[in-house]
Structures are given as structure tokens and as C-alpha cells.
Chains A and B, each alone.
Chain A
């Protein structure tokens, strides 16, 4: 026969599971998900811009610059699939970025990163 103490211990399992479920369910909503996507994309665009600026100055190897660009484009394409409004400004900016060549001008990339930063600020204010 179970002692009251072991019964209490036994009851903790479902309680913990319920707590974990509640925490998970209280996770970010659609707006937060968009905010997270735009934040990450803004950084990726800025990272790509910095890489290309250093590549243009001969401070990184071409292999490194190309690999970073490929990775950036892959992450931006994945972000484009994640945004909730495919016609919204974030989606437009992400689509524009994914169409750029690997050796895109660092100024163009930096401007895109700044536009994403503005979109991010709008989402934060909402």
C-alpha cells in the first residue's frame, strides 16, 4: 500500500507535466514569432553586408565570403517561409534579399538590414 508521502510524490508527475504544458502553451504568439523571424533576418542581412564589405577590402577569403552568402540566403529563404503575412513589408524585404547575388553590394545589404530594423521596431511597438 502506498504511503501518503509516496502518493504525494506520485501525484507530482502529472502536475509537472501540466506545468510544462502550460509553459509551452504560453509561448510566443504570431506577432512574437514574426518579431523573432525579423530580428534574426535583420542580423543575417547585416552579417552578410559586413562579410561582403570585408571581402571587397580583401580582408576575408573568397571561399569564406561565398559560403557565408550561401548560408545567409538559405536562412533568409527559411525566414521568408515563416512570416505570417506573405504580402507584408517583412516578406517583401526578405524576398528582395533572397534574390540578391552572393556578392551583392554591402551598401544594398546594409540598407535592407536597416529596413528590417524599422519593421522590427514597428512590431515591437504593436
Chain B
């Protein structure tokens, strides 16, 4: 195992962990409920570690990407339902990320948002067209490390660490009204969804196949998912903690994505603001690329088309057309003027509905010794996998009623 490769893989996972939904829900969760929702981030991170590791292992041993499995395990009809729901969820997420990029660029340059949305999309298309897969993943992941300024900012504002640590244990804050309890429950579901977005496993497992992972890469896979996702989650938790300290007392529940950057501007001034905005820009751009490619991977794998960024764009024409179409449709959605935060809310609800269908075939195959041989799920992976699966199903059942009853967490 090359140490440099592992280190880069971990840094990439850290920088690529946060996207616009974690920025929004992390900040709003902190400002509305103090530190109380930290445990949900910690808990959901264990979930994405479990399923991320499983999808990487399946890619390395069975050489099967998630959507290939879905068609075989769920059958054509159910597979098609999952495919359509995933495509919709990823498309909305991709549009939210493009809108978020345009907003952050607007805060940096002052240029018109619609023009910046077009420019951002063209830049994304150019980067996916030109760069090989490994460098697409690494460029955005490593540039996303500017987000570390949020973790440094938390240290600088001296939060009450004992309270922060104790919030890592599941809790419900005392004295909430029934409507606040519903909103708290909505945030629990939304954070689980935002951390465990299905596109992450589609992208991660397809990436494993793009990188031609074998049994030798299982260690890298384990380290990337455990250490990389774990450290990435700390960035999301930092955003929550700063929001609880800085925004809550001022009655701010960030309604504008740019407000989150103030968490770094308060302790570090203009330099902190610029680092935060750059970190947000690259983290969001990386997520836009991941959601877009996840859709192209899904549809190509489902219909058995040639796919992969290791091929030249014209060597896998339907795959290329698919990711181009996602970017263009995402841009079109943004240009209708719909608020990116509204898109984030829809994406989060849609995604949690898709999650059970995404993770079931993965769980079944990762436990199947015919395909996985000695690398099939052991007792720990089985217990964790099925426990998280049960929780995801519960969250999926609760998501839509909670979304409607709390007006997307705004009540």
C-alpha cells in the first residue's frame, strides 16, 4: 500500500465530504437546536462509512457497481423505479449545487448569478471532459480542503467543549413545544439523508471500478471510508457548532448560503471569509460533479452501455451524453430562478425515499459468499449494515409527513 496514495485518498474524501445540503442543514441545525443534533451527524457518518466501505469492497471483489446490482437483485420493474427516483434525486441535488456555486461566486465577484451559473456549468463540463477520473476526484477534493477553515474557526471561538462532546450522545433537548419537536425530528431525518446521499455510494463504487481496484485496494478503501469520511464529518460538525455559538443567539437560521461563511469571518476577518467561500465553492463544485457523474453511471450501468471516464468521451458516447444532459438540465432548473435552498430541501427528501432501495441490493451482495468469497460481510458489517438499513427505512417513512408538517423544517 503506497502511503502517498492513501494520504491523498483520505484528503480527497475529507475535502469532498461536505456539500451544499450539509452546509445548509449543519448551520440551521446549530442555530435552531444548539449542539443537540451533533449526534445525528456522528451517527449518519458511521452509516455512510459502513455502506461506503461495503460499496468499495463490492467494486474491488465482485467488480459490480451499485446499479448493475440493483437491476439483478431488484428485478427490472423495481430497478427501473429506483433508477428514475435516483435520477430525479441526483438531478435536483446537482441543480442545487450549481445554484450554490453561482451564489458563492456572486459573493466573491458581484457578477450576475445567472451568468455565473452558466459559467460554472461550462467550467464543470470542461473539467469532466478534460481531466482523467482520478484527477477529477482529487482536484475538487483537495481544493475543498479550504473548508478546514471552519474547523479552525471553531477552535478560535472557544465553544464549551464539554457540552459539544456530550451532544455526541443521542438526546432530545428539554422544553421543546410539539411543533419544535416535529421540526427537530425533521432535522434528524434531513441530516441522515444529507450525510448518506445515495449519489455518494454510486460515485464511490463506480470510482473504484474506474480506478481498477482489486483485493489489494481493500485497505485503502477501509482507510478512506473510516478516516476520510470521519474527518470530513468533523467539518460538518464544526459548521453546526459555530452556528450554535454565533448565529443562535442572534436569531439567525441561515436562509442565505453565504451567511455560513461568516462563521470564519467573525474570528479571522476577510482572510477567513475568503478561505471559507473558496472552500464552499470547491466542495459544492465537487458535489456537482459527483451527482452528475453518479447519474451518468447509474443510467449507463442499468442499460448496459459503455461507461467510464477512463475512456475518451467519444468512446462511451451515451455515457458522455448522459452526464452532459444532467449538467445542462441542472443549469436549466437553476435558470428558472428557483432558490437553491428550496432545491436542497427537495433533494434531501427525495434522497431519503430512495435510500432503502439503494442500500438493499448492496447489503445483499456484500453478504453473498458466491460473489464476495472470503470478503463477504462478517458479523460486525452484517449487524451494522442491517441496523442502519432498518433506521433508513424508518427515516424514509417519516420523511414526507415531517417535510409537509414542518414546511421543510421552517416551522
8 Å CB contact of A59 from B273, B401, B410: B273
- Looking at chain A's contact residues, is the secondary structure mostly helix, strand, loop, or mixed? helix
CB pair A27 B411 closer than 8 Å: no
Instruction: Kindly name the residue among A43, A58, A68, A71 whose own CB sees the greatest number of chain B CB atoms within 10 A.
Output: A43
Contacting A at CB under 8 A, from B297-312, are none
Q: Which residue of A20, A35, A75 is within 8 Å of B256 (Cβ)?
A: A75
In the assembled complex, the Cα of A124 lies from the Cα of B177 at a distance in Å of: 11
Docked complex Cα distance between A32 and B270 (Å): 39
Chain A CB within 8 A of B262 CB: yes
Interface string of A32-45 (1 = CB under 8 A from B): 11011001101110
Interface of chain A residues 53 through 71 with chain B (CB within 8 A):
54, 58-61, 63-64, 66-68, 71
Which of A36, A47, A72 interacts with B411 by CB under 8 Å? A36
Question: Nearest residue in B to A20 (C-beta to C-beta)?
Answer: B400
How far, in angstroms, from A59 to B272 measured CA to CA in the complex? 9
Give chain A nearest CB distance to B77 CB in angstroms: 11
Residue B332 interfacial (CB < 8 Å): no
Q: Are B407 and A36 in contact (CB under 8 A)?
A: yes
Asked if A15 lies at the interface with its beta carbon under 8 angstroms from chain B, I say no
- Which segment of B145-153, B206-214, B247-255 sits at the interface? B247-255
The residue that B266 contacts in the complex, of A39, A59, A117, with Cβ under 8 A, is A59
**CB pairs A–B below 8 angstroms (5 shown):** A27-B407, A28-B407, A63-B110, A64-B258, A71-B103
Knowing A23-B404, A36-B411, A61-B273 touch, does A72 contact B266 (C-beta < 8 A)?
no
* B399 CB, nearest partner CB in chain A, Å: 11
Partner of A43, one of B107, B254, B411: B254
- A:82-114 near B, CB below 8 Å: 113
Which of under 10, 10 to 19, 20 to 34, or 35 or more describes the interface residues of B?
A: 20 to 34
Task: Give A116 to B274 CA distance when docked, in angstroms.
Answer: 31
In the bound complex, CA of A59 to CA of B262 (Å):
9
With a CB–CB cut-off of 8 A, which chain A residues contact B109? 63
A6 interfacial contact with B, CB 8 Å: no
Q: Which residues of B contact A80 (CB under 8 A)?
A: none
Which A residues lie within 8 Å of B266 (CB)? Answer: 54, 59
A-binding residues in B (CB < 8 A): 103, 106-110, 179, 250-256, 258-259, 261-262, 265-266, 269-270, 273-274, 277, 400-401, 404-405, 407, 410-411
Q: How far is the CA of A26 from the CA of B103 in the complex (A)?
A: 34
- Whether A54 contacts B256 in the complex (CB less than 8 A), given A26-B404, A64-B107, A117-B251, comes out as no
The 6 closest A-B pairs by CB, nearest first: A59-B269, A36-B410, A63-B110, A46-B252, A43-B253, A47-B259
CA distance A67 to B259 in the complex (A): 11
In whole Å, how far is B86's beta carbon from the nearest beta carbon of chain A? 19
- Apart from A47-B255, A64-B108, A64-B261: 14 A-B pairs, beta carbons within 8 A: A24-B404, A27-B405, A33-B407, A36-B407, A36-B410, A44-B255, A50-B259, A54-B265, A58-B269, A59-B273, A60-B265, A60-B269, A67-B107, A124-B179
| Chain A residue nearest in CB terms to B110 | A63
CB distance from A35 to the nearest CB of B (A): 6
The range of chain A's interface size is 35 or more
Task: Give Cα A110 to B250, complex, Å.
Answer: 9
Determine the chain A residues whose CB is within 8 A of the CB of B277 once the complex forms: 64
Instruction: Give bound CA distance, A54 to B250, whole Å.
Output: 14
Query: CA of A68 to CA of B262 in the docked complex: distance in angstroms?
Result: 11
**Distance between Cα atoms of A26 and B254 in the complex (Å):** 27
Could you tell me if B250 and A32 are in contact, using CB atoms closer than 8 angstroms?
no
Of all chain B residues, which has the CB nearest A64? B107
How far does the alpha carbon of A33 sit from the alpha carbon of B410 in the complex, in Å?
10
Question: Closest residue of chain A to B261, judged by CB?
Answer: A64
- A59 in contact with B411 (CB, 8 Å): no
* Min CB–CB distance B326 → chain A (angstroms): 26
Nearest chain A CB to B339 CB, angstrom units:
8
Minimum C-beta distance from B402 to chain A (A): 10
The answer for the CA separation of A32 and B110 in the assembled complex, in Å, is 35
Check B270 against A68 for contact (C-beta < 8 Å).
Answer: no
* Nearest CB of chain B from residue A99's CB, rounded to whole Å: 20
A39 to B400 CA separation, bound complex (whole angstroms): 22
A71/B401 in contact, CB under 8 A: no
Our pick among B262, B274, B411 for the contact of A50 (Cβ within 8 Å) is B262
Which residues of B have CB within 8 Å of A124?
A: 179
User: In whole angstroms, how far apart are the Cα atoms of A46 and B246 in the complex?
Assistant: 12
CB distance from A73 to the nearest CB of B (A): 11
Q: Is the CB of B411 within 8 A of A46?
A: no
B107/A63 in contact, CB under 8 A: yes
A residues within 8 A CB of B262?
A: 50-51, 54, 60
Interchain CB contact under 8 A, B410 and A40: yes
- A60–B256 alpha-carbon span in the complex (Å): 16
Contact pick for B254, options A47, A61, A63, CB 8 Å: A47
